[in-house]
Structure 1
């Protein structure tokens, strides 16, 4: 076992034991579920397994907007979501006396929709689509129609407003207080960019040496795989068919592109090997981290597990006999995007900016100027 990783894992044991011996009574469910369970998967691998990771994003954003006076109690917050952000936003609205309206992806299942409606959210769900791009474009168009009819609604813009970075500073504090200050690699799905970007930006500001490994599905425009199609892909939270301003490309050291079958192998492998029932993006992250740790065993690896596996029960876990053995899978190593190929490719991104945008923005901290009223050009494209 590498010396630095051994030290980091040992350092994490004492806070964990203390937490287990101290019961806490929370004032609201969001406080109880926002922090992840930290689970040791190996000598130099720790999984941060969330019930829904975006509670950090939603709470941080709502609190900041209320404090700045951008929204007021009783107002309706609206946004588009493929699932876990919708639930997080509905819970944040429940906590702070706000109304919630969700424009839901076709991938939102009946269980998730029922939770949203019982929480008081109103839901407009998109019809079945041929692909993720059409689903996302429909959602954005529908949100804009709602705003035209109801200017009193506040669009949360989880894809574009970097107020969603704010909440992950609290997660960074948890990581700093739990894992020893050794070289760290964070492995997680890119998605909107806020979770991986917000966590790593906050950690690097402390002076910590942190590598960021991002995961994308084939078909996502975010890191240039839009020319590919993955018919089975249901990983709406990992990639995007439209540009997201909240993705800061210059934060990422390495990018992996993973197809559905490989993500499925990782999710089934995680349950089989570690008894952890987690979502498809977590499965992809587990697969990628397994390869990364073999390549760089002297670093501690933190794997982000965004949600549980419940919404993937039928389309992933019920098909567990079809899953490949993740231990036999290896990525294709590429040096340029024109070499990209399914089912699994990896490239050293080396913190380069978005090739389609010369901007080098940094998401502001909690006390920076408000950006909530800004409408970017990417929002009006669809």
Structure 2
């Protein structure tokens, strides 16, 4: 099936017909646009250069329009990487200053980009403890706000303003895949991308499904009792609670360890020539599993960023990668049964808390 190009009005184009690309006023408006690639008959990749540009642009635009912030003001937040770049680009786009409290995962290349864009950067000391890293970043932001009360804290983990920008890619999806029942599959992270995208899609089709992907060690969906020393969980999971994660939006959840995510990320490049980040590979692995069991729905894989941040940790080790085709999850009915390396469960759009097995739910329909 031919997909309508991003930005098209309706229906596929005739073979050989080209659409002139729009001329943008700022690079952020061009970078945010995703590419849609059909990986299988019922699996479509929504690949972004950097997904969080939508969140940052939408949030900053809303804050300016409502007078919460004014041109020239300094916006501050902490980030593990792609949100920092997105916020710096949004500030550059709208004439604002930017200060980033950066995770230890932010490398020199990313820092150079931020500083050239005019952002000031605080980088936390090296740490293997993600909770410590995140807590240090929050403490530093509070210190900055105490010294500079005119700064505005973006609070990407907690302020629902970050959901707003995802209405636009949701509209792109609906126009590109008209009439197809959709299942969104993506890493949970802050909750804004999968949550904002799915909320917007459900305004038109309440049956749109959402599958969240988590690493072991994340508190977001109850796997904090596990450790995965190799995991790069920044941007996929969290060691602290995020208000922007609305658990009641998710139909299913998959937990994967680093080896499975790495296998899927390398496999995505080998099979489809897609150079993408670890969260994209993990989401694709989960989507392939779901798509095989629900062939009548189109599974949309959220590809949050490119693979550049993962070159050393993932791609240079490609010969070590497992064969994704040989991997399968253990289906569980309760978080008590959760075990590495890959588990999947029907979350059934419930608030965070103990998940009641289906058999018990049938006995007690009030739940």
User: TM-score with structure 1 length normalisation?
Assistant: 0.89
RMSD, aligned α-carbons: 1.4
- 1:182 pairs with one of 156, 180, 190: 180
- Corresponding position: 1:35 with 2:37: no
Distance 1:176 1:208, change over 3 A: farther
Compute the displacement of 1:332 (Å): 1.0
Distance 1:127 1:182, change over 3 A: same
Contact 1:183/1:208, CA 8 A, preserved across alignment = no
Distance in 2 of aligned mates of 1:166 and 1:22:
28
Contact 2:54/2:165, CA 8 A, preserved across alignment = yes
- 1:207 pairs with one of 197, 205, 208: 205
Partner of 1:135: 133
Partner of 1:354: 352
| Gaps in structure 2 of 5+ consecutive residues | 6-10, 355-367
Partner of 1:319: 317
Distance in 1 of aligned mates of 2:62 and 2:48:
22
Distance in 2 of aligned mates of 1:278 and 1:301:
18
Partner of 2:283: 285
- Corresponding position: 1:192 with 2:186: no
Q: Deviations over 1:109-139 (max 9, x none)?
A: 1111110000000000111112211111111
Distance 1:165 1:154, change over 3 A: same
SS of equivalent to 1:21: coil
Distance 1:47 1:262, change over 3 A: same
SS of equivalent to 1:80: strand
SS of equivalent to 2:299: strand
Compute the displacement of 1:295 (Å): 1.1
Contact 2:218/2:224, CA 8 A, preserved across alignment = yes
Distance in 1 of aligned mates of 2:173 and 2:17:
14
SS of equivalent to 1:352: coil
Contact 2:2/2:12, CA 8 A, preserved across alignment = no
Contact 1:185/1:301, CA 8 A, preserved across alignment = yes
Partner of 1:85: 83
SS of equivalent to 1:166: helix
Partner of 1:104: 102
Contact 1:235/1:280, CA 8 A, preserved across alignment = no
Compute the displacement of 1:10 (Å): 4.4
Larger deviation: 223-232 or 9-18? 9-18
User: TM-score with structure 2 length normalisation?
Assistant: 0.92
Compute the displacement of 1:19 (Å): 9.0
Partner of 1:154: 152
Distance in 2 of aligned mates of 1:274 and 1:149:
50
Distance in 2 of aligned mates of 1:253 and 1:148:
41
Distance in 1 of aligned mates of 2:349 and 2:191:
14
Where do residues 56-75 of structure 1 align in structure 2 (5 Å cutoff)? 56-75=54-73
Partner of 2:243: 245
Contact 1:58/1:88, CA 8 A, preserved across alignment = yes
Q: Deviations over 1:208-257 (max 9, x none)?
A: 52110000111110100000001001120011111000000000000001
| Gaps in structure 1 of 5+ consecutive residues | 1-8, 357-382
Partner of 1:114: 112
- Corresponding position: 1:328 with 2:331: no
Compute the displacement of 1:354 (Å): 1.7
Compute the displacement of 1:21 (Å): 2.7
Partner of 1:339: 337
Distance in 2 of aligned mates of 1:290 and 1:303:
9
- 2:231 pairs with one of 217, 230, 233: 233
Contact 1:181/1:208, CA 8 A, preserved across alignment = no
Aligned pair count reads 348
